[in-house]
Amino acid sequence: MDYVIEMLNIRKMFGTFVANDNITLQVKKGEIHALLGENGAGKSTLMNVLFGLYQPDGGEIRVKGKSVKITDPNVANDLGIGMVHQHFMLVDKFTVTENIILGSEPTKNGTINVKEAAEEIKKISENYGLQVDPYAKISDISVGMQQRVEILKTLYRGADILIFDEPTASLTPQEITELIQIMKRLIQEGKSIILITHKLKEIMEVADRVTVIRRGKGIKTLNVEDTNPEELASLMVGRNVVFSVDKTEAKPTDEALIIENLVVKDNRGIERVKRLNLEVKRGEILGIAGIDGNGQTELIEAITGLRKVESGKITLNGIDITNRPPRYITEKGVGHIPQDRHKHGLILNYSIGLNMVLQTYYKEPYSKVGILNYKNIYAKARDIIDKYDVRTQSEFELARALSGGNQQKGIIGREIERDPDLLIAAQPTRGLDVGAIEFIHKRLIEQRDNGKAVLLISLELDEVMDVSDRIAVIFDGQIIDILDPKKTDENELGLLMAGQQLEKNEETPLIDQTGEAGE
Amino acid sequence: MSNRMTNIVVPVLAVILGLIVGAIIMAISGYNPVVGYQALWEGILGDSYNIGESVRTITPYLLAGLAVAFAFRTGLFNIGVEGQLIVGWFAAVWIGVVFDLPMIVHLPLALLAAAIAGAIWAFVPGVLKAYLGVNEVVVTIMMNYVALHVTNALIKNMSDGSDSTERIHESASLKSSFFEQITDISRMHNGIFIALLAVFVIWFILQKTTLGYELKAVGFNRHASEYAGMNVKKNIVVSMVISGALAGLAGAMEGLGTFGYVAVKSGFTGIGFDGIAVSVLGANSPLGVVFGATLFGSLKYGAGNMPSAAGIPEELVSVIIAIIIFFVASGYIFKLLLEKFSKKKEVK
């Protein structure tokens, strides 16, 4: 059999920790090979070994049958291995062409020959149906388009083995569909793809084969047509996973949060939330669905006091909290799982224990007359760690050292333990694996069942649809519709999210419109 | 290797390596390194007088290093320690000269004045940084010049045009007859107690109080601190004020201890700037500052013995001292090497 990439018994250790324990990954020419595993399972380590960022402690790498030693990313490039990173590595103020040639600029008489490069990029783009304008500025194009620039970058450098690292994390449903088309096109043109993901749906849809790794060990390689999401999930997590979110009917009571005519500007002074109205009731989970950048971030920051409200009113339990400082709002009963756990949620250089009292350290029993009581702080931390299954060596471990899922479980534990009346969960499961997602969804529903109000903001449609009791669609700073998750589907939501007001007509062929909406 | 072990082994290794390179330079330049280092050693610990003077040099370094380290923990780079020290020096001497009070009131008052003067000098850049986003590095540097020239003018004004003030009253002095006696009349003074007390207090604030928890949180991650409901702006100002107070106290060590007066200066004392190096040597921790100040202060003082005792020119002495400090400061290179070394061993 023709393998383009063979990673045989790759072993990589960090100190005494075995990140890759004799993993074997064999990618055939012209296939999409998915690499599936939980966070911290060793996917990134394995790919970094392939890309030359890490040196393996054991094992062999063969590219197109030849044994190679990949000492740095340049060697990987020369071997035709290209990586499409999850976080795009693009210069905002540069054009597409300038970004692509960055680092290997073609010169002519000492000046950069942009024109020739642009021609070539255009040609490649047309070849693969990428539809990228070589002269567009990165800051002017959509996230989906930026990703295609990343793909172009690898193709321009002659890659024929492409690694996609969590490529759909920041895309809309329509953009995901397009990406899948592009990947299929790449295969047709003879490229091979390694797809790193933990989204089972994508694997089922696009991959030919899948290699599952768990806790640093290669578990199994399967043909996608011979398997199903349930099997993959249990292989990945090591136990059976419940997919459908198990919940009873919501019993909403009175409003906990009322937002009236809210206007909020972003850092550049542009209105992002435009006379928005919203209510969240006790005993319900209200999900906000929307494409990133439609005012979600500004809305959350305004509610939690992190951003100034221009006009309008926010009421919590009948108390006006508009433009009050964060501590006031926190003390009045708002819990907040922030969307960026590293920026807002944690002090990474503090121990996980100290992070567990981030909003309460100044209160008894954690401190008294300004003196910290470490005994009580760490006792509380221990409590949260046990209760919320935060996997860490101890409560004294730096928050930085924990995996994303465990950091998130810690934050969620901290917020819920403060017993807030309103829990704001902003993309609570971003980047987490199915096991952690299942756990977090359960906790959110538990809050609801305890009569708390939960506001869930997510870019994952599945999540919004599975967990919410009502779905509010946000577009351009306004709630344009509120839907019952049981009476809607992805297509309808996708269209609303793209700003198309839906004609309430059951006969409308939604599929066709989806294609247009993505343009 | 455990973390704690690395933290001890690395600086020790760095000092040894610095000494070796310094020796090579001496040898190349035609001087006997053994004689040179012997002179250095004697200059620091050779007799009770030198020990006393070494301690005297270390004292203001402790406070200046502490000032830099404290601000640094809140993510602020206080380059204005020099200026804050100068105003603190002046304020302490002014109280010491103008008032005549019982010692139990006079000395604390003079120290307090120094701390307040330094605090005010740091308050300005703190407020500008917190509320207007003005870079504290630029402002503190400029405030250094203002401090230097304003105090010079005040000194002349106070002493009718002469270049130096009168001596402070004995009731405001940190002088210690006990220390003078045991160190062969060196200028070692009671300020060392104040400096060590300050080390303890700062350690306590940073490690044990909610204030320290907040200040460090702000230093590590402003956004998360804001999210947690801390008043980031207030914390920045508080951090600068405490840092400035420490710097002012460093000035008081010179004014009330070493000299007992303040003279017109043609340039900076350098103690404030060296405080940055002391802080870096000590990894910005209070206990580390004790190590940094001891190394810096003793080398600085002891080196003075090398030209006379070993005939090594002053310029070369400066180079050697700088190299030793350079190696210690770049200690993280050793850390990296150590880690790599120990990792390789583990794998095998």
Q: Which residue of A has its CA nearest to B73?
A: A349
Q: How far apart are CA B221 and CA B224, in angstroms?
A: 6
Minimum mean pLDDT range among A180-184, A345-349, A457-461, B205-209: A457-461
**Nearest-by-Cβ selection for A350 from B210, B220, B231:** B220
**Nearest-by-Cβ selection for A347 from B208, B220, B343:** B220
- DSSP class of residue A487 equals G
For residue B82, give how far its alpha carbon lies from the nearest alpha carbon of chain A (Å): 30
In this structure, are residues A485 and A314 in contact, taking their beta carbons and an 8 Å threshold?
no
Domain of B155 in residue numbering reads as: 60-293
For residue A46, give how far its alpha carbon lies from the nearest alpha carbon of chain B (Å): 18
- DSSP class of residue B285 equals -
A304·B227 Cβ contact <8 A: yes
Cα R_g (chain B), whole angstroms: 21
Q: Does B221 touch chain A (CB under 8 A)?
A: yes
**Nearest-by-Cβ selection for B211 from A330, A354, A370:** A370
**Nearest-by-Cβ selection for B210 from A330, A359, A370:** A370
Q: Which two tokens stand for residue A32?
A: 């999409």
In the block, residue with structure tokens 């402690």: A57
Chain A residues closer than 8 Å to B338 by CB: none
Residue type, position A5, single letter: I
Buried b (16+ CB within 10 A) or exposed e, B240-271: bbbbbbbbbbbbbbbbbbbbbbbebeeebbeb
The per-residue pLDDT for B290 is: 95
Q: How far apart are CA B125 and CA B122, in angstroms?
A: 6
Q: How far apart are CA B92 and CA B115, in angstroms?
A: 9
Size of interface A-B (CB pairs under 8 A): 67
Contacts of B30 (CB under 8 A, 6+ apart): none
Contacts of A81 (CB under 8 A, 6+ apart): A5, A50, A51, A63, A70, A159, A161, A163
Contacts of A255 (CB under 8 A, 6+ apart): A279, A280, A281, A282, A453
Please report the domains of chain A, with CATH numbers, ordered by start residue. 3-237 (3.40.50.300), 246-333+420-519 (3.40.50.300), 340-419 (no CATH)
Chain A residues closer than 8 Å to B220 by CB: 347-350
Q: Does B209 touch chain A (CB under 8 A)?
A: yes
Q: How far apart are CA A30 and CA A32, in angstroms?
A: 7
Chain A residues closer than 8 Å to B227 by CB: 304, 306, 326, 336, 338, 344-345, 358
Chain A residues closer than 8 Å to B230 by CB: 327
The per-residue pLDDT for B4 is: 65
The per-residue pLDDT for B315 is: 85
In a domain, B143, yes or no: yes
Q: Given a cut of 60, is residue A518 above it in pLDDT? A: no
CA nearest to B80, candidates B155, B150, B149, B136: B136
CA nearest to A492, candidates A511, A479, A467: A511
Q: Does B185 touch chain A (CB under 8 A)?
A: no
Chain B residues closer than 8 Å to A373 by CB: none
In a domain, B159, yes or no: yes
In a domain, B317, yes or no: no
In this structure, are residues A125 and A136 in contact, taking their beta carbons and an 8 Å threshold?
no
Residues A279-302, mean pLDDT to the nearest whole number: 92
A326·B228 Cβ contact <8 A: yes
Q: Which two tokens stand for residue A385?
A: 């760690």
Segment holding A272, helix H or strand E: strand A271-281
Q: Does B232 touch chain A (CB under 8 A)?
A: no
- What are the residues facing A82 on neighbouring strands? A162
User: Burial, A1: exposed, middle or buried (Cβ in 10 Å; 0-12, 13-18, 19+)?
Assistant: exposed
CA nearest to A388, candidates A343, A346, A431, A446: A446
CA nearest to A175, candidates A138, A205, A147: A147
Q: Given a cut of 80, is residue A416 above it in pLDDT? A: yes
Q: Given a cut of 70, is residue A399 above it in pLDDT? A: yes
Chain B residues closer than 8 Å to A325 by CB: 229, 231
The per-residue pLDDT for B263 is: 94
The per-residue pLDDT for B203 is: 97
Q: How far apart are CA B251 and CA B63, in angstroms?
A: 9
Q: Given a cut of 60, is residue A97 above it in pLDDT? A: yes
pLDDT mean values, one per 10 residues, chain B (348 residues): 66 83 91 92 92 96 97 94 97 96 95 98 97 94 96 92 91 93 92 97 96 96 95 96 98 96 94 92 90 91 90 85 81 70 53
In this structure, are residues A11 and A1 in contact, taking their beta carbons and an 8 Å threshold?
no
In a domain, B14, yes or no: no
The per-residue pLDDT for B2 is: 57
Chain B residues closer than 8 Å to A331 by CB: 229
Q: Could you tell me the CA-to-CA distances from B281 to A140, B8, B201, B324 in Å, in that order? A: 47, 12, 20, 11
Q: Which two tokens stand for residue B153?
A: 């003018």
pLDDT digit string (tens) for A445-466? 999 999 999 999 998 888 899 9
In a domain, B124, yes or no: yes
Q: Given a cut of 60, is residue A511 above it in pLDDT? A: no
Q: How far apart are CA A352 and CA A249, in angstroms?
A: 36
DSSP string, B213-258: HHHHHHHH-HHHHHHTT--HHHHHHHHHHHHHHHHHHHHHIIIIII
In this structure, are residues A421 and A258 in contact, taking their beta carbons and an 8 Å threshold?
no
The per-residue pLDDT for A302 is: 96
In a domain, B325, yes or no: no
In a domain, B320, yes or no: no
Q: Which two tokens stand for residue B106?
A: 């006079």
Better-predicted residue by pLDDT, A239 or B174: B174
In this structure, are residues A344 and A305 in contact, taking their beta carbons and an 8 Å threshold?
no
For residue B6, give how far its alpha carbon lies from the nearest alpha carbon of chain A (Å): 15
3-state helix, strand, coil in chain A (%, to 5): 35, 25, 40
**Nearest-by-Cβ selection for B228 from A13, A358, A372:** A358
Within a 13 Å sphere around the CA of B143, how many CA atoms are in the beta-carbon half? 29
The per-residue pLDDT for B99 is: 94
DSSP string, A133-195: -TTSBGGGS-HHHHHHHHHHHHHHTT-SEEEEESTTTT--HHHHHHHHHHHHHHHHTT-EEEE
Q: How far apart are CA B115 and CA A326, in angstroms?
A: 33
In the block, residue with structure tokens 């999401």: A229
In a domain, B312, yes or no: no
Query: How many CB atoms within 10 Å of residue B277?
Result: 22
Peptide bond into A229 cis (omega under 30): no
For residue A335, give how far its alpha carbon lies from the nearest alpha carbon of chain B (Å): 11
How many domains does one find in chain B? 1
In this structure, are residues A465 and A434 in contact, taking their beta carbons and an 8 Å threshold?
no
**Nearest-by-Cβ selection for A344 from B210, B223, B343:** B223
Interface residues from chain A to B (CB-CB < 8 Å): 13, 15-16, 57, 304, 306, 325-328, 330-331, 336, 338, 343-350, 354, 358-359, 361-362, 367, 370-372
Q: How far apart are CA B145 and CA B80, in angstroms?
A: 9
Residues A265-291, mean pLDDT to the nearest whole number: 92
Q: Which residue of B has its CA nearest to A415?
A: B228
Q: Which residue of B has its CA nearest to A338?
A: B227
Minimum mean pLDDT range among A57-61, A147-151, A175-179, B202-206: A175-179
For residue A468, give how far its alpha carbon lies from the nearest alpha carbon of chain B (Å): 25
The per-residue pLDDT for B1 is: 47
Q: Could you tell me the CA-to-CA distances from A202 to A105, A176, A385, B17, B281 in Å, in that order? A: 35, 9, 32, 57, 52
A347·B208 Cβ contact <8 A: no
